[in-house]
């Protein structure tokens, strides 16, 4: 399918006109600082006004053995002067810091794409480690691509010589040398990176100076050296974007900010119980610094204590939040049931990763949909919201807080490793534009006596904080009596309470409306997605529509309950295609709910969809 990828960008080395978008992948050893280099390149891209999307792809091992194939860490960025929604299919440029990085990444490179390689790392030892029988830079095996190979290691050592660093430390500056070259290639300002280096190495100014020297040397090399292939400097015009203040944001940052905003809009203190797990830990890290927003973070002894403490905090009148990834979410299952039974607000963030079990901790997948919607004992309905992108995660987090509080229920917010780690430009929202939803607590005995399980128009029960005089009562995981909340095992009561819990959650669908993201509200084919597949689906549908195909894109944020009009909307299309990074979980839910003959497109490789893959599936269905 990859061969169907259209060449939307002009071959770099031969055309002077700048292409609309370029995909660059930095790949090196996990100790080479590729994520850092990618992150800084992203910043400079954003500052240049290009739209962008990134895809960090790193091994689970912190420091895998040097030079090995499994120790390769990569960072891909797609940027350009038009709307960018994916990290890009095939890279135009691959920067390979060693043979292993070349070997694991080169086959993704577009035909005619450019390889920049460090010959200093292509010695016998590293070639053997990467399982190369001969040097690919010399044996002609890279003929499909253009190769720009020079001794970055030696050039770096030369550039940092004045600072008297040891060989090992000096070589660490290689990534900045490479970044300098990349900045030159795309006509970027060096100053923001220089400022950042000064801040980062404030305590070791000689390291700051060495890194800056390496950066400058790489840049100068591009400017002055007669490169082996005629690379032209590219200036990418800024993308046309709405006016306003912008910043870059990762999904983990956006969720943290959204949770804080949600708690503030609810006028509640927030309690966050977490336990370290990849890729969810970043949320705990972000929130632990925001004490002035009434945020208490608690690193619990395990996943169960993380959610149990959050439930305790909600019971006591805070907004309880917990976060994890698949395996940790599984551990929290019983406690989610407790929150459902005791009808307390709670937000559970699940940054999905490849599973089952430990699975692929640093790779992305959206295979926890069943777990989110169905994964608890008993009839245990719970709202599920899925973010489509890093910036969307902000609004989704606010939405999760609102529903949790207004309906007195735990809510699961799904993101994934891709959204959590990826960065994109974010137009800073105007917080005054967000409606407040202040939480209200019962403080008086109502007429007719205290009823902790009384219902309002949303079927939510009152929130009563311990510490309130005269409203003492007991709650727990045993079935509650309708109204009073006393223990009650009676058959008719359990039937009534189970139906109440179900109807309360299903009732949320009345306020949910499903829009069409792209295309008409009826037609031959709807491509229905959820979560981080938004970008590739959107671009694929856009391309197919340009070819005149009758296809629309529907992207579902509310996985449970589903929006009220979704069934009718799906009925308007002859065919339905659901691309998912799992074996067809949303497909199962939609088939079950609406009896629609939805077809699956599945990718379970730990990598996001390529636009071309979805485009090919669309063309296949409309052929």
Give the x-and-dash track for 465-494 against another protein (CB under 8 A): xxxxxxxxxxxxxx-------xx-------
448 binds another protein (CB under 8 A): no
Question: Binding residue for another protein (CB under 8 A) from 24, 46, 100, 439?
Answer: 46
Q: Cα–chain-centroid distance for residue 443?
A: 41
**Spatial contact of 29 and 73, defined as CB atoms under 8 Å apart:** yes
Provide the minimum distance between the beta carbon of 474 and another protein in the complex, in angstroms, as a whole number: 4
**CA 87, 90, 91, 95 torsion: positive or negative?**
positive
Contact range with another protein by CB under 8 A, out of 306-314, 377-385, 498-506, 552-560:
306-314
Distance CA 448, CA 550 (A): 60
Judged by CB, which is closer to another protein: 115, or 304?
304
Q: Is 545 exposed, middle or buried (0-12, 13-18, 19+ CB in 10 A)?
A: middle
| Count of residues in contact with another protein, rule CB under 8 A | 79
Residues in the chain: 623
Provide the minimum distance between the beta carbon of 279 and another protein in the complex, in angstroms, as a whole number: 20
Judged by CB, which is closer to another protein: 296, or 593?
296
Question: Binding residue for another protein (CB under 8 A) from 309, 324, 362, 366?
Answer: 309
End-to-end CA distance of the chain: 16
Q: Which residue has the tokens 């003492």?
A: 472
238 binds another protein (CB under 8 A): yes
Judged by CB, which is closer to another protein: 228, or 487?
487
Judged by CB, which is closer to another protein: 348, or 616?
348
17 binds another protein (CB under 8 A): no
Provide the minimum distance between the beta carbon of 566 and another protein in the complex, in angstroms, as a whole number: 31
Site for another protein in 89-128 (CB under 8 A): none
Provide the minimum distance between the beta carbon of 324 and another protein in the complex, in angstroms, as a whole number: 14
Judged by CB, which is closer to another protein: 67, or 273?
273
**Cis peptide bond upstream of 561, omega within 30:** yes
Task: Identify the helix (H) or strand (E) that includes residue 412.
Answer: strand 410-416
**Spatial contact of 199 and 160, defined as CB atoms under 8 Å apart:** no
317 binds another protein (CB under 8 A): yes
CB count in 10 Å sphere of residue 435: 7
Distance CA 401, CA 411 (A): 8
Provide the minimum distance between the beta carbon of 376 and another protein in the complex, in angstroms, as a whole number: 12
What three-state secondary structure class fits 388? Answer: coil
Give the x-and-dash track for 331-350 against another protein (CB under 8 A): ---xx-xx---x--------
Q: With b meaning 16 or more CB within 10 Å and e meaning fewer, what string describes 461-482?
A: bbbbeeeeeebeeebeeebbbb
Give the x-and-dash track for 526-565 against another protein (CB under 8 A): ----------------------------------------
Site for another protein in 248-287 (CB under 8 A): 248-249, 257, 260-261, 264, 269, 271, 273
Question: Binding residue for another protein (CB under 8 A) from 125, 232, 247, 513?
Answer: 247
Token output for 511: 């306020």
Give the x-and-dash track for 376-415 against another protein (CB under 8 A): ------------------x---------------------
Which contacts qualify for 464-468: CB closer than 8 Å, 24 or more apart? Answer: 465/316, 465/317, 465/441, 466/315, 466/316, 466/317, 467/316, 467/317, 468/441, 468/442, 468/443
Site for another protein in 172-201 (CB under 8 A): 189, 192
291 binds another protein (CB under 8 A): yes
Contact range with another protein by CB under 8 A, out of 155-163, 175-183, 238-246, 363-371:
238-246
Distances (CA, A) of 610 to 90, 250, 471, 535, 580: 8, 20, 57, 9, 12
């Amino acid at each position: 399918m990859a061969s169907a990828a259209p060449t939307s960008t002009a071959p770099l080395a031969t055309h002077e006109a700048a292409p609309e978008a370029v995909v660059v992948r930095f790949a090196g050893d996990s100790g080479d600082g590729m994520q850092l280099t990618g992150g800084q390149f992203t910043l400079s891209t954003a500052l240049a006004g290009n739209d962008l999307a990134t895809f960090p792809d790193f091994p689970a091992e912190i420091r895998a053995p040097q030079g090995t194939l499994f120790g390769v860490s990569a960072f891909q960025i797609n940027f350009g002067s038009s709307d960018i929604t994916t990290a890009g299919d095939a890279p135009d440029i691959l920067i390979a810091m060693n043979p292993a990085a070349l070997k694991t990444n080169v086959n993704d490179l577009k035909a005619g794409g450019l390889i920049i390689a460090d010959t200093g790392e292509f010695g016998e030892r590293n070639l053997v480690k990467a399982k190369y029988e001969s040097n690919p830079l010399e044996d002609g095996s890279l003929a499909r691509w253009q190769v720009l190979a020079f001794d970055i290691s030696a050039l770096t050592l030369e550039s940092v010589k004045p600072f008297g660093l040891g060989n090992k430390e000096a070589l660490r500056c290689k990534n900045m040398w490479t970044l300098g070259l990349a900045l030159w290639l795309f006509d970027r300002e060096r100053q923001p990176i220089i400022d950042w280096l000064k801040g980062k190495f404030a305590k070791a100014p000689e390291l700051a100076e060495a890194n800056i020297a390496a950066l400058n040397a790489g840049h100068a090399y591009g400017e002055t050296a007669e490169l082996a292939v005629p690379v032209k400097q590219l200036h990418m015009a800024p993308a046309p974007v709405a006016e306003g203040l912008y910043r870059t944001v990762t999904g983990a940052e956006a969720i943290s900010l959204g949770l804080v905003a949600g708690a503030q809009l609810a006028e509640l203190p927030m309690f966050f119980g977490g336990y370290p797990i990849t890729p969810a830990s970043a949320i705990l890290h972000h929130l632990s610094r925001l004490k002035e927003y009434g945020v208490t973070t608690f690193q619990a002894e395990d996943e169960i204590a993380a959610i149990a403490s959050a439930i305790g905090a909600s019971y006591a009148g805070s907004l309880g939040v917990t976060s994890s990834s698949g395996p940790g979410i599984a551990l929290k299952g019983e406690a989610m049931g407790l929150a459902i039974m005791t009808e307390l607000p709670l937000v559970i963030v699940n940054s999905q990763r490849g599973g089952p079990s430990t699975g692929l901790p640093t790779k992305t997948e959206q295979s926890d949909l069943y777990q989110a919607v169905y994964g608890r004992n008993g009839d245990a309905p719970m709202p599920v919201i899925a973010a489509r992108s890093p910036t969307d995660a902000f609004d989704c987090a606010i939405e999760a807080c609102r529903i949790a509080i207004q309906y007195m229920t735990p809510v699961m917010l799904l993101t994934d490793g891709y959204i959590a780690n990826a960065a994109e430009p974010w137009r800073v929202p105007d917080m005054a534009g967000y409606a407040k939803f202040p939480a209200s607590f019962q403080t008086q005995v109502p007429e007719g006596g205290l009823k902790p399980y009384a219902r309002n128009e949303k079927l939510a029960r009152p929130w009563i904080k311990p510490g309130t005089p005269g409203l003492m009562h007991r709650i727990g995981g045993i079935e509650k009596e309708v109204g009073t909340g006393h223990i009650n095992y009676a058959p008719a009561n359990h039937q009534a309470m189970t139906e109440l819990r179900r109807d309360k959650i299903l009732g949320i669908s009345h306020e949910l409306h499903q829009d069409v993201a792209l295309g008409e509200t009826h037609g031959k084919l709807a491509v229905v997605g959820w979560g981080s597949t938004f970008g590739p689906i959107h671009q694929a549908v856009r391309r197919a529509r340009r070819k005149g195909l009758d296809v629309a894109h529907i992207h579902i944020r509310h996985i449970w309950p589903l929006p009220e009009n979704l069934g009718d909307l799906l009925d308007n299309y002859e065919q339905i295609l659901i691309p998912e990074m799992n074996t067809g979980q949303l497909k199962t839910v939609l088939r079950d709910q609406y009896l629609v003959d939805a077809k699956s497109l599945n990718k379970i490789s730990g990598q996001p969809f390529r636009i071309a893959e979805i485009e090919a599936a669309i063309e296949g269905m409309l052929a």
